């Protein structure tokens, strides 16, 4: 009886180790699974991940970074994207928490149904106007919503 109890403990311990070790791998695989398609080759690609605490974060935020991101109280990020006139630009828009939105008026880009966590919204356009343009979140997402902006610089 005692012996079988110990065996059960070992089995449970083993299961726990498998779960703890396997979870990050599973999350990574899931993140890759969410990535639907490759952007056109030669395009300038940027990933912007919306955070209701930190604004637009440049780059990918993995699922396992999100918990620490929520605890951090860093400055609001306002990224600057630089491209050259004539470049094809691909934006990969993601959210790390709540539904965000995206608007880049100068290029008539307006994401109407939001950027939801776990989904990637692709925006592709040709940067045919030189100048400095602002993009922002167009879905109210919390305290920093008004500051959730960034800049696109298209060099001539």
Stretch that binds Cu ion, among 15-23, 41-49, 122-130, 136-144 (CB under 5 A): 136-144
For residues 143 and 156, which CB has a smaller minimum distance to Cu ion in the complex?
143
Closest among 39, 154, 152 to 105, alpha carbons compared = 152
Percentage helix, strand, coil for the chain under 3-state DSSP, each rounded to 5: 30, 35, 35
Using only C-alpha atoms, what is the Rg of the chain?
21
Stretch that binds Cu ion, among 58-66, 68-76, 118-126, 140-148 (CB under 5 A): 140-148
Q: Does 61 bind Cu ion (CB under 5 A)?
A: no
Q: Does 152 bind Cu ion (CB under 5 A)?
A: no
Q: Does 148 bind Cu ion (CB under 5 A)?
A: yes
For residues 81 and 137, which CB has a smaller minimum distance to Cu ion in the complex?
137
Q: Which of 48, 93, 141, 154 binds Cu ion (CB under 5 A)?
A: 141
Beta pairing, strands 55-58 & 121-126 = unpaired
31 sits in which H/E element: helix 2-34
Specify the residue for token string 């149904």.
113
**Least distance CB 140 / Cu ion (angstroms):** 8
Residues in 74-133 at the binding interface with Cu ion, rule: CB under 5 A: 100
To the nearest 10°, report the CA torsion of 140, 143, 146, 151: -100
| Contact footprint for Cu ion (CB under 5 A) | 50, 100, 137, 141, 148
């Amino acid at each position: 009886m005692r012996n079988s109890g110990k065996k059960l403990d070992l089995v449970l311990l083993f299961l726990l180790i498998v779960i703890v070790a396997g979870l990050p791998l599973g999350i990574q695989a899931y993140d890759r699974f969410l990535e639907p398609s490759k952007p056109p080759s030669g395009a300038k690609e940027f990933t912007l991940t919306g955070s209701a605490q930190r604004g637009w974060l440049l780059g990918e935020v993995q699922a396992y970074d999100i918990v620490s991101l929520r605890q951090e109280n860093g400055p609001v990020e306002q990224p600057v994207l630089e491209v050259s006139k004539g470049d094809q630009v691909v934006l990969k828009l993601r959210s790390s928490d709540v539904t965000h939105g995206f608007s880049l008026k100068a290029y008539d880009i307006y994401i109407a149904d939001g950027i939801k966590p776990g989904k990637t919204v692709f925006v592709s356009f040709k940067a045919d106007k030189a100048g400095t343009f602002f993009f922002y979140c167009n879905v109210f997402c919390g305290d920093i919503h008004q500051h959730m902006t960034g800049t696109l610089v298209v060099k001539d």
